Amino acid sequence: MNSQTIKQDNIAQQLRYLVGQNLLSSISLILFGVYVFIALTGSYWVPYDPLESNTTIALQGPSSQHFFGTDHLGRDVFSRVIVATRLDLGIALAAVSISFFVGTFLGALAGYYGGWYERLIGRLADIVLAFPLFVLAMGIVAVMGNSLINVIYATAIINIPFYIRISRAEVSLQRDRQYVQAALLSGNSHFRTLLFHILPNCLPNLIVQISINMGWAILNAAGLSFIGLGVRPPVAEWGILVAEGADYIISGQWWLVLFPGVVLMLAVFTFNLVGDTLRDLADPQKRK
Amino acid sequence: MLYDKIQLIIKRLMLAVPTLFGVLVISFCLTRALPGDPAVYFAGAMADEASIQQVREKLGLDRSLPYQFLAYCNNLLNGELGQSLTTGQSVTYEIKARLPASLELTLLGLFMGLLTAIPLGILAALKPNTWIDHLCRVLVTAGASTPIFFSGLFLMFVFYYLLGWSPSPIGRLDFIYLEPPHVTGFYTIDALIIGDYEVFKAAFAQLLLPASTLALCALAPIARMTRSSMITALESEYVKAAKANGISAKMRVYVYALQNASLPLLTVIGLVFGFLLGGNVLVEKVYSWPGIGSFAIDALVASDYAAIQGFVLIMAVLFVTLNLIIDILYTLFDPRMGRNE
């Protein structure tokens, strides 16, 4: 009875309830909005051209002119960090979308049809997870070629198994429910039933996974570009910005590493927290 | 009972066979999926048509794929991973020489992570919603969000540049020391074996910062798991029964609850080891650590494929083996296993 009424609440009410419950959740949602805003509009309002170098002001600390200081070529670190947001979030979003669609589809088929197909898909997921994932991503990029698109593919591949597992488990829970029988009886094909009747009911858990995965994907892509894969200088990307600053950290130019690093960390933190918030939303037991 | 367990362990070992096979297939695909013709690549830039053909035959590239796969497995069994282009040595030699450096770092990192995370998790579980629980939560969330290369550089800045406590963060040993004679390949242990405390201290001081970086990365999942499985164990019937029977609090926490909570912990350690093997690459880059991670990065920059493939394969085999060991330990320790078989 109680869960019925909560289910009928709209999302705005649920959000308000959660925000009241947990300060961190509301902070994370605000931060999420800020990041999306920066990614969409950042390149239009940054104070300097992120690629414009001016060696007369190289390696200056933070000041009122250059909030985050300047790098070894005199480029404005603040502008570079802001402009990089779109690229980093874009890479993560592209990679996570690929793994979401491919993984969910494969997992759903496995969960629905079962049999040897389910065993095969499950085995494949296990094998990918048998690798240390960052190492596998390195190997994939090395073999497919060192380019941005391959970094996206590699990040997507290492995350696919998680979606396979979740959607397989969810679909095999749902497939014997009565509404599925009803859908089939009223003339829907198996495929249509799976796609339009079962999968929408599996979405909550998948969405939680998407949010957490966004954080991993950002970390993974930044790690790969930190070791020189994918995005290349002079393009502004958080991993590269930290890598460029790494040479100056032992001579005390901390701002080159600190600002892009903190912005990167905060982005991952935000997505992790949003994931936690969504998990609470998706889990009716926690909501009570 | 014991017989059942042995049976379970054998079953587990058999289950690892298809996984290892899959790992081999994927690494084989990585060797054959090179852009262009591998023979042209491995023959080198100066090769003519005849020598390319020669390399093709030598590598077996003119045969069928299943044959090539068998040949690949055969090479692996002989410890043959090909030639590294960057160093001119065989990949097997390079990996053998550099693996101890990476393992020393990873294992110390894991150990330090366990040493801080488990007490933290226990304290948080004993006093939920106090400052220690909040501290645990903040550390866990921050640890899961911090890029490992960033925390590495941050520690370097604080402890080397600002405080000056740490030696110059480059390599395994300051150049004024001679490396200890090779026994295990772990400098700290080798130095202890010959009783050279000076070198031990120097090697340990070099290890401390990179290992702490890895420990920070390992801390989060271990503390989270300790906390949640301790809370579950402490709320369970058997702990209540123990309390009702007048068993002391210390005994309840450290024997009754912790013993039961240690099983899920074991699983998490396997998972964390995987993170650390990946994170190791980044830490080795930050601290110029001469392990297999920095070898792989050099190879990546130089498109040295044999070296990268060897690296990926070794990492995967290490990870699979560790998980297998953990599963076997799990079977041995968990009295419930093998009872219903």
Opening angle at CA B271, ends B268 and B272, nearest 5: 85
Looking at residues B210-221, what average pLDDT do you find? 91
Report the pLDDT value the prediction gives residue B339, as an integer from 0 to 100: 62
* Alpha helices for chain A (secondary structure H): 2-8, 11-21, 23-45, 77-113, 115-129, 133-144, 148-174, 178-185, 190-192, 199-226, 238-246, 255-282, 284-287
> Per-residue confidence at A288, pLDDT binned at 50, 70, 90?
very low
Report the pLDDT value the prediction gives residue A46, as an integer from 0 to 100: 82
Contact A215 B145 (CB under 8 A): yes
- B195 burial type by CB count under 10 A (0-12 exposed, 13-18 middle, 19+ buried): exposed
d(CA B293, CA B149): 13
Report the pLDDT value the prediction gives residue A17, as an integer from 0 to 100: 63
Is pLDDT larger for residue B45 or for residue B168? Answer: B168
- Does residue B3 form part of some domain? no
Task: Kindly list the residues from chain A whose CB atom is less than 8 angstroms away from the CB atom of residue B23.
Answer: 127, 130-131
Report the pLDDT value the prediction gives residue A182, as an integer from 0 to 100: 92
Residue of B nearest to A252 (CA): B161
Q: What is the mean pLDDT of chain B?
A: 84
Report the pLDDT value the prediction gives residue A63, as an integer from 0 to 100: 83
Of the candidates A126, A139, A265, the beta carbon closest to that of B145 is on A265
Contact A223 B148 (CB under 8 A): yes
C-alpha A280: how far from its chain's center?
19
* Alpha helices for A145-198 (secondary structure H): 148-174, 178-185, 190-192
- Does residue B83 form part of some domain? no
d(CA A267, CA A149): 22
Report the pLDDT value the prediction gives residue A260, as an integer from 0 to 100: 92
- Does residue B85 form part of some domain? no
Q: What is the mean pLDDT of chain A?
A: 86
Looking at the DSSP bridge assignments, the partners of residue A70 are A76
d(CA B133, CA B117): 12
Is pLDDT larger for residue B250 or for residue A101? Answer: A101
Q: What is the pLDDT of residues A132-163, one digit of tens each?
A: 999 999 988 888 888 899 999 999 999 999 99
Task: Kindly list the residues from chain B whose CB atom is less than 8 angstroms away from the CB atom of residue A127.
Answer: 19, 22-23, 25-26
Residue A227 phi, psi dihedral angles, 5° rounding: -90, 15
d(CA B287, CA B206): 9
Is pLDDT larger for residue B297 or for residue B179? Answer: B297
d(CA B141, CA B223): 11
Cβ of residue A123 closer than 8 Å to a chain B Cβ = yes
Report the pLDDT value the prediction gives residue A10, as an integer from 0 to 100: 66
What distance in Å separates residue A195's CA from the closest CA in chain B?
30
Q: What is the pLDDT of residues A5-55, one digit of tens each?
A: 445 556 676 666 666 566 777 888 899 999 999 999 988 888 888 888 787
- Does residue B176 form part of some domain? yes
Is pLDDT larger for residue B183 or for residue A113? Answer: A113
Task: Kindly list the residues from chain A whose CB atom is less than 8 angstroms away from the CB atom of residue B86.
Answer: none
Of the candidates A133, A228, A246, the beta carbon closest to that of B301 is on A228
Residue B229: which domain range?
98-289
Q: What is the pLDDT of residues B145-154, one digit of tens each?
A: 899 999 999 9
- Does residue B195 form part of some domain? yes
d(CA B210, CA B19): 32
C-alpha B32: how far from its chain's center?
26
pTM of the model: 0.87
What distance in Å separates residue B67's CA from the closest CA in chain A?
22
Q: Are B106 and B280 in contact (CB under 8 A)?
A: yes
How many CB pairs (< 8 A) connect A and B? 155
CATH number at residue B175: 1.10.3720
> Per-residue confidence at A238, pLDDT binned at 50, 70, 90?
very high
> Per-residue confidence at A95, pLDDT binned at 50, 70, 90?
very high
Q: Cβ atoms within 10 A of the Cβ of B163, count?
A: 9
d(CA B72, CA B25): 10
Residue the block writes with tokens 């997870």? A129
Looking at residues B270-280, what average pLDDT do you find? 89
ipTM for the predicted complex comes to 0.86
What distance in Å separates residue B263's CA from the closest CA in chain A?
20
Does residue B335 have a pLDDT over 90? no
Does residue A88 have a pLDDT over 90? yes
> Per-residue confidence at A1, pLDDT binned at 50, 70, 90?
very low
Interface test mutation site (partner A, options B150, B151, B305, B311, max chain A beta carbons within 10 A): B150
- A169 burial type by CB count under 10 A (0-12 exposed, 13-18 middle, 19+ buried): middle
> Per-residue confidence at B251, pLDDT binned at 50, 70, 90?
confident
> How many independent structural domains does chain B possess?
1
d(CA A127, CA A202): 24
Looking at the DSSP bridge assignments, the partners of residue B83 are B90
Report the pLDDT value the prediction gives residue B109, as an integer from 0 to 100: 94
Task: Kindly list the residues from chain A whose CB atom is less than 8 angstroms away from the CB atom of residue B18.
Answer: 123
Looking at residues B305-317, what average pLDDT do you find? 87
Does residue A282 have a pLDDT over 80? no
Opening angle at CA B142, ends B137 and B144, nearest 5: 100
Task: Kindly list the residues from chain A whose CB atom is less than 8 angstroms away from the CB atom of residue B302.
Answer: none
Q: Is the peptide bond before A234 cis (omega within 30 degrees of 0)?
A: yes
Does residue B293 have a pLDDT over 60? yes
- CA nearest B111: which of B272, B285, B225, B283? B272
Does residue B117 have a pLDDT over 80? yes
Residue of B nearest to A122 (CA): B19
Segments of B190-269 assigned E as strands: none
d(CA B170, CA B290): 9
Contact A246 B296 (CB under 8 A): no
d(CA A250, CA A246): 8
Q: Are B85 and B306 in contact (CB under 8 A)?
A: yes
Cβ of residue A214 closer than 8 Å to a chain B Cβ = no
Q: What percent of chain A has pLDDT over 70?
A: 90
d(CA B291, CA B284): 7
Sequence-ordered list of residues with C-beta below 8 angstroms from that of A173, at least 6 positions apart, any chain: none
Looking at residues A252-276, what average pLDDT do you find? 89
Which B residues, 239 through 298, put their C-beta within 8 Å of a C-beta on chain A?
274-275, 277-279, 281-282, 285-286, 296-297
- Does residue B144 form part of some domain? yes
Does residue A109 have a pLDDT over 90? yes
> Per-residue confidence at B328, pLDDT binned at 50, 70, 90?
confident
Of the candidates A134, A227, A261, the beta carbon closest to that of B150 is on A261
Residue of B nearest to A124 (CA): B22
Cβ density class A36-74: b for 16+ within 10 Å, e for less:
eebbeebeeebebebeeeeeebebbebeeebbbbbbeeb
Does residue B294 have a pLDDT over 50? yes
- B129 burial type by CB count under 10 A (0-12 exposed, 13-18 middle, 19+ buried): exposed
Looking at residues B268-297, what average pLDDT do you find? 90
Of the candidates A130, A254, A266, the beta carbon closest to that of B23 is on A130
Q: What is the pLDDT of residues B24-69, one digit of tens each?
A: 888 888 777 666 666 776 666 677 778 878 777 776 677 777 888 8
- B207 burial type by CB count under 10 A (0-12 exposed, 13-18 middle, 19+ buried): buried
- Does residue B260 form part of some domain? yes
Q: What is the pLDDT of residues A207-229, one digit of tens each?
A: 888 988 999 999 999 999 999 88
Q: Are B23 and B320 in contact (CB under 8 A)?
A: yes
Q: Are A248 and A72 in contact (CB under 8 A)?
A: yes
Does residue A2 have a pLDDT over 60? no
Query: Which has the minimum average pLDDT: A144-158, A174-188, B320-334?
Result: B320-334
